[in-house]
Amino acid sequence: MSQSEAHHLQVIYQRLTSDIDRLTAQLADLSQSARAMKQQLSSEGHLDLGTFSDQLETFASIEANNRQIDTLNARHDTAVTRLAHAQFLLPQAYFAKLQLDFGDGDHEALYLGKVGYTDENTNDLIYDWRAPVADAYYANRTGATSYQANGRTIPVTVVSRQQFIIDHATLQQTIDTDAAIGDPLLLDVLASNRSGGLQEITATIQQEQNAIIRENSQPTVIVDGVAGSGKTSVLLQRVAYQLYRHRDSWTPADILILTPNAAFSRYIRGVLPALGEAEPLSTTYSNLVGSWGRRFGLTISTTHGNHLVELAEIIQAPLSKTPAGLAEDAYVQSSVHDSLLTRMQRAWRWLQAVGRLPEDVSQWLDWPALAHQLGLAELTLYDQLYLLIRFTTYQQTTTAALFVDEAQDYAADTWLFLTALYHNAELTIVGDHRQRLAGQAVTISDYFDPAKTAVLHLTTSYRATGEITQFFAQFAGDWQTTIQAVQAAGTPPRQLAAADLKTTLADLPATTDQSIGILTPSAKAAAELAERLPNAQLITSDGTRTVRPGINILPLTVAKGLEFDFAVVTDWEASFYQDPQFGNNRRYVAASRGTKGLLLLH
């Protein structure tokens, strides 16, 4: 282990420690100064507006006090941010080092951490992993490369790369990564126990993952990735990267993550705070539709039985009759040859211009009669919300970027609704087309402008051992010959007759800090099994529980996106897994949940 690197860590650690003490004292002094200024302003807080000269002096005094307050606030905010970064970096100041040659023959050392840190003269001591120059580290090679910064391509030669395992002031291990990014560290991370929520992967981001995280050529990014390829981790790293890239204009409140269920939301919680960012907003699709329905005065309890696909086509065609409930003088503001959508949008603008907008937009139109005019039996509340968003050209401005995980599970109506509502937002959509367990599959890219959409793929599976990866790949259809594994072979999956489950679980080589996932075909089967295993926890789609050490019981639909040290799949030969359309997809999903061991019970 390099003594110079150990010494460098000591220097940085001492700097962070001393800065924490100094900044803590500085904040205390600033608070005291603020209190003193407040008392002074209170004692002098009368306004002398007698003569014009008195007014000028009074206003000048107020302006001077405001400048003092602004200065105090700025110094306070800077100290708070710097203190937070120093405290955040103290357990692990950095994780990697780059030696770069910018063409002058000198080798410049750059240390990468989860956030950046400078000295008092703004010299970079630690570079943020999201900084443009850090892209040279994730390029997965030494030698000549380049990175993009401020719209320019910067050529550079990567002389060497190193990774570090650090515990506060102790340099535990140095890994040379000239050939590939952190293979030893990557394998060490992959071998760790899955005993809780999702792990952040900053130190082990691979080249294909890095390309997706930093993709910024198009506003819409669609990622199709194999099981275990780190799709969710990449999505969250991309959230952090986008917050860094737009740090002058975006906050976590401008981000929305769409998750498949509450258990999944809890599973990913904490990843972004581990990257130095606040937790962004997240919700499920049904909750999202419900919340937007309330904004339009509609109480939407279900999205089933909708007609969005038909409506998307119907409103593109002309409708000669005035839509039921709409004033005829509003509809005649446009040509009879225009589409229904165009005429309704113009009608809304006209009503707005003449001050005749409806007080209750949900009652603007006669929905039952309009359904008959459009050739439909009814218009559900979900249908009504979609039409109102389209007809009023509603502009959603609260979300700058929308991130959608497990995207393969969403039907066509979801993409029609999201593209209507979030057409001004950047979108990152992540899924695996082979993990759809039921329903009609859709091609997501069909709903987006191809000129503004980047479609990318992840084909390396990192999660499971080689044996498990090879086993689940046989059910992956067109992915089968694409999936690549990086881990060692490990223990082959075992198929057992459904004997006593408690005995089977007792024979697993799991330790107390490892997770076991028992996957059932249905929520009912999971609940019944949980009653027989009192020491297990039941994870449901609408509950708050997520993966923990010990035994976790959950239906396959909830297990998607989650991972366990050992996966036990019940009823492997049942009709659920023999379904002619989705059987292989279900086996692919179930068999890819375990990282170290896989048991299939007949």
Q: Which segments are annotated as binding site for ATP?
A: 225-232
Q: Which amino acid is at 401?
A: A
| N-to-C CA span, the chain | 51
366 class by beta-carbon count within 10 Å (0-12 exposed, 13-18 middle, 19+ buried): middle
Which stretches does DSSP call E strand in 61-167? 96-101, 108-113, 117-118, 124-128, 143-149, 152-167
Q: Which residues are annotated as a binding site?
A: 225-232
Q: Classify each residue of 129-148 as buried b or exposed e, where b means 16 or more C-beta atoms within 10 Å of its C-beta.
A: bbbbbbbbbbbbebeebebe
For residues 226 and 479, the answer to whether their CB atoms sit within 8 Å is yes
> How many angstroms separate the CA atoms of 551 and 567, rounded?
10
Q: Which of 190, 206, 2 is closest to 109 using CA atoms?
A: 2
> How many angstroms separate the CA atoms of 294 and 416, rounded?
19
Helix, strand, coil fractions of the chain, as percent rounded to 5: 40, 20, 40
> How many angstroms separate the CA atoms of 340 and 361, rounded?
18
Question: Which sign, positive or negative, has the C-alpha torsion 190, 192, 198, 199?
Answer: negative
Q: For residue 555, give the 3-state DSSP assignment.
A: strand
Q: Which of 88, 72, 85, 58 is closest to 26 using CA atoms?
A: 72
100 class by beta-carbon count within 10 Å (0-12 exposed, 13-18 middle, 19+ buried): buried
The helix-helix angle for 285-295 and 412-421 (nearest 10°) equals: 50
Q: Which of 486, 561, 488, 465 is closest to 519 using CA atoms?
A: 561
User: What's the CA angle centered on 138, arms 136 and 142, to 5 degrees?
Assistant: 60
